[in-house]
Chains A and B, each alone.
Chain A
Amino acid sequence: GNSVTQMEGPVTLSEEAFLTINCTYTATGYPSLFWYVQYPGEGLQLLLKATKADDKGSNKGFEATYRKETTSFHLEKGSVQVSDSAVYFCALSNTGNQFYFGTGTSLTVIP
């Protein structure tokens, strides 16, 4: 079947620290992979995506590389800001237009 497993939170970092949020997946075939971000009181927004193995998605300083050999799509940012405080969701899309989300990882960045 298809599923996504995310690193459990909450994660608390100081401003300018390095961020990694782990995400691994199980899927049949060749899924597309996504990271979404949810700010307090809002809906989810697409942060970045990768559609095939070895693709790197990037946006706003965040990066994630589609690793087929390790079935992973870890989210990284070199220097976090207070404004990055949010909940981050890893997701995959497979055949049939179905989407599968992880449980979310809450990030708090303190000044």
Chain B
Amino acid sequence: NAGVMQNPRHLVRRRGQEARLRCSPMKGHSHVYWYRQLPEEGLKFMVYLQKENIIDESGMPKERFSAEFPKEGPSILRIQQVVRGDSAAYFCASSPGRHEQYFGPGTRLTVT
């Protein structure tokens, strides 16, 4: 059973461009979580999704950020018009329910 897959592993974008981060959960997992980790800081919750539904987006910035988890395909975290402050590691985790989360290797976004 493959683990949580994230791609790309590294992403470089210029200010003002769009960034799309993908997450494929483990097989059989219908819960996906996105987190952001800034350098030398802890893990900040962004959004929790189940298939086709956003359950909790209380950690998402109100502008430029969006997330989806369609019926088919990976979960996508989209950042429009990126700024330097968006540079961070973005981690996806999946869960089958009220169990531990399984994390992907992360996408490291650098905004130049």
Query: What is the predominant secondary structure among interface residues of chain A facing chain B?
Result: strand
Q: How far is the CB of A25 from chain B (nearest CB, A)?
A: 15
A32 is an interface residue with CB less than 8 A from chain B:
yes
Kindly specify which of A11-19, A43-51, A62-70, A71-79 makes contact with the partner chain: A43-51
**Contacts A44-B43, A98-B56 given: A49-B100 contact, CB under 8 Å?**
yes
Taking CB atoms, residues of chain A closer than 8 Å to B35 are 101
Per-residue CB contact flags for chain B residues 26-55 toward chain A (1 = under 8 Å, else 0) read 000001010100000111010010000001
| Whole-angstrom CA separation of A58 from B4 in the bound complex | 24
B101 is an interface residue with CB less than 8 A from chain A:
yes
Number of A-B pairs, beta carbon distance below 8 Å: 55
Contact B48 A102 (CB under 8 A): no
B103 is an interface residue with CB less than 8 A from chain A:
yes
B110 is an interface residue with CB less than 8 A from chain A:
no
Question: Count the B residues whose beta carbon is within 8 Å of the partner chain — how many?
Answer: 24
Contact B91 A43 (CB under 8 A): yes
Closest to B102 in A: A46
Contact B33 A43 (CB under 8 A): no
Contact A102 B97 (CB under 8 A): no
Taking CB atoms, residues of chain A closer than 8 Å to B74 are none
**Contacts A101-B43, A103-B41 given: A34-B100 contact, CB under 8 Å?**
yes
Contact A45 B56 (CB under 8 A): no
| Whole-angstrom CA separation of A47 from B45 in the bound complex | 20
**Contacts A42-B105, A44-B103, A49-B100 given: A99-B33 contact, CB under 8 Å?**
yes
**15 A-B residue pairs with CB within 8 Å:** A32-B98, A42-B106, A44-B43, A44-B103, A45-B103, A89-B42, A93-B98, A95-B98, A97-B31, A97-B48, A97-B98, A98-B48, A98-B56, A99-B93, A101-B42
Chain A residues within 8 Å of B, Cβ to Cβ: 32, 34, 36, 42-46, 49, 89, 93, 95-104
Chain B residues within 8 Å of A, Cβ to Cβ: 4, 31, 33, 35, 41-43, 45, 48, 55-56, 91, 93, 95, 97-106
